[in-house]
Structures are given as structure tokens and as C-alpha cells.
Amino acid sequence: MDFLSNLISGLSLGSIYALIALGYTMVYGIAKMLNFAHGDIIMVGAFAVIVCINTCGLPVWLAAVVSILCCIVLGVLIERIAYKPLRRSAPLTVLITAIGVSYLLQSVAQLVFGSEMHSFPKVISMPTIQIGELTIKGNALVTLVVSAVIMVVLTLFIGKTRMGKAMRAVSEDKDAAELMGINVNKTISVTFAIGSALAAVAGIFYGSTYGFIGPYTGSMPGIKAFVAAVFGGIGSIPGAMLGGLALGIIENLSKAYISTELSDAIVFGVLIIVLLFKPTGLLGKKIKEKV
């Protein structure tokens, strides 16, 4: 019984990671950059909900919409101001800028909201399902379903729509895409808008699952989601989902059966071993090097 309930809690933790990793991998896949600030956009999204509900008294659905819009605007703004001028620079320059943006969002959040943890309103409250001794949290189920739906929608969007095709083209070769008449700037902006919207959704689910949000809440889940995205093969959308779930389950099972203290070391150890055998992650594309 313990095993089952640990497995289920692992899935629930994993679905949060997956939700965050989806945004990470989306941006990486198209814009080819590690957006280290992604975790902090989650935090902004969650704070937006808190402000909307507690201060402005908006209904839950409206608060969610406002939060998503806020994050989209923020994401696109960040891309335009901080990342766009660096599109031709070394990837590391962009990485450092992203880290700078991450620090910036954290310190602004601390100046505005203070350093303490704020309790998150109960946006999603699903009843707990009880089967014998087994308790399944309703919220976890919703998170899982939502991340699965988002995964399917994203895959379809990228595979079937015109915009999706443009994204794939940009991801393959920016210059060639431009020559084919694709508006690269617009495509990348749309990518960031989608990525940030996903971050807002992740923020809402994170907040309702754990109940407390502070200015630095986003950084650890951000790193874990980055790990999940790489685990599944960064750039691959089903990979992010798989990586997230796998990470959550491994983390919880190693806590339960090996050591609570060393669970992080074990998670990272498994990651290293997987990458040794599959150097581009579970579902990552193998890139053949051209001579």
C-alpha cells in the first residue's frame, strides 16, 4: 500500500515538474536557448494570481486569465529587450543574460512582495479520492491531466499548424527560414508567449498544490524542470512530459526506499547514468554531425 501511495505522490510531483519542463523545452526547442528565468516566470504567474484574488477580488477564472496574460507580456518583453539583441552572440552570453533576468525578477519580487512566503488562494480544490487506505489527491489528478492535455495540444500545434511549421523551420535554421519568408522575430516571440503562458499555468498549479509562494520559490523547481527536460531529451515535448514524470517518481521512490537525505544525489545520479547510455536524453533526437 505504501508503495502505491508513494508512486502516486511521485506522479503528482512529477506532473508539476512536467508542466514546468514543457515550457522550458518549448523555448529551448525553437529558440535554442536555456531560459534560466523560466522558473521565476512561474513565481510571477503565481504572485499575479495572489494579487488578483486577494487584492482585486477577481473571480478565480479571471485571475488565471490575467496571470497568463501578465506572463505572456513579461515573457515577450524579456525576449525583446534582453534576448533578441543577443541572437547572434555566443550561447553562453545568452545564458548569462537569462541568469541576470532571473536575478532581476527575484529581486523585484522581493522588493514588491517582501521576502516572506505568501499563502496561495485555493484556486483548484478537488476532493481527495479515498480507495481503501489509498488517498489520491484531486489536485494531483488535475495537474496530471492538464499537463497531458497541454503536451498533446503542443505536439499537435507544432506538428500541424502553420505557426508550428514556422517554428520547426526556425528551430532548424534561422537564416534559411528567413529566406523562405518566415518572420523569425514573430515566430520566436510567439514561442516565448507560449512558453510564458505555460509557466503561468505551472505557477497556478504549483501554488495550489503547495500553497505558499515566495520570491525565490521558482528557482529550485526551475532547476529540477531543467533536469527533467534534459532527461527526456531537451527540445522534445513528449520527452519533457516523460522526463518530468520519471524525475518525480524516481525522487519519491528513492526517498521512500533508499534515503530521504540522499534522494537528490540519487536523482542526479540516475540522470547521469541515463545520459551515459542515451547521450541526448530519453526521447531526444540524435544529431548527426556533418563534416
Name the residue nearer to other proteins (CB basis): 191 or 219.
219
Name the residue nearer to other proteins (CB basis): 38 or 255.
255
Handedness of CA 271, 277, 282, 284 (dihedral sign): positive
What is the amino acid identity at position 259? Answer: S
Quick one: which H or E segment has residue 116?
none
The CB-of-182 to other proteins minimum distance in angstroms stands at 23
Name the residue nearer to other proteins (CB basis): 14 or 166.
14
The CB-of-243 to other proteins minimum distance in angstroms stands at 11
Name the residue nearer to other proteins (CB basis): 42 or 166.
42
| Angle, vertex CA 150, rays to CA 147 and CA 156, nearest 5 | 145
* Structural contact between residues 59 and 49, judged by C-beta atoms closer than 8 angstroms: no
Name the residue nearer to other proteins (CB basis): 155 or 280.
280
The CB-of-180 to other proteins minimum distance in angstroms stands at 26
Cα 255 from Cα 89, distance rounded (Å): 42
What is the amino acid identity at position 130? Answer: Q
Name the residue nearer to other proteins (CB basis): 13 or 71.
13
Which ranges constitute the DSSP H helices of the chain? Answer: 2-31, 38-50, 60-78, 91-113, 138-160, 162-172, 174-179, 184-210, 219-232, 237-257, 263-277
Cα 286 from Cα 279, distance rounded (Å): 9
The CB-of-190 to other proteins minimum distance in angstroms stands at 23
CA atoms within 13 A on the CB side of 279: 3
Handedness of CA 4, 234, 194, 212 (dihedral sign): positive
The CB-of-123 to other proteins minimum distance in angstroms stands at 12
Residues composing the chain: 291
All cell numbers assigned to 68:
497568463
The CB-of-93 to other proteins minimum distance in angstroms stands at 5
User: 148-153: long-range contacts (C-beta < 8 A, 24 or more apart)?
Assistant: 148/241, 150/19, 150/22, 150/198, 150/201, 151/18, 151/22, 151/237, 151/238, 151/240, 151/241
In the DSSP assignment, the letter for residue 119 is E
The CB-of-224 to other proteins minimum distance in angstroms stands at 8
Name the residue nearer to other proteins (CB basis): 4 or 62.
4
Contacts of 182 (CB under 8 A, 6+ apart): 166, 169, 170
Name the residue nearer to other proteins (CB basis): 107 or 161.
107
The CB-of-145 to other proteins minimum distance in angstroms stands at 18
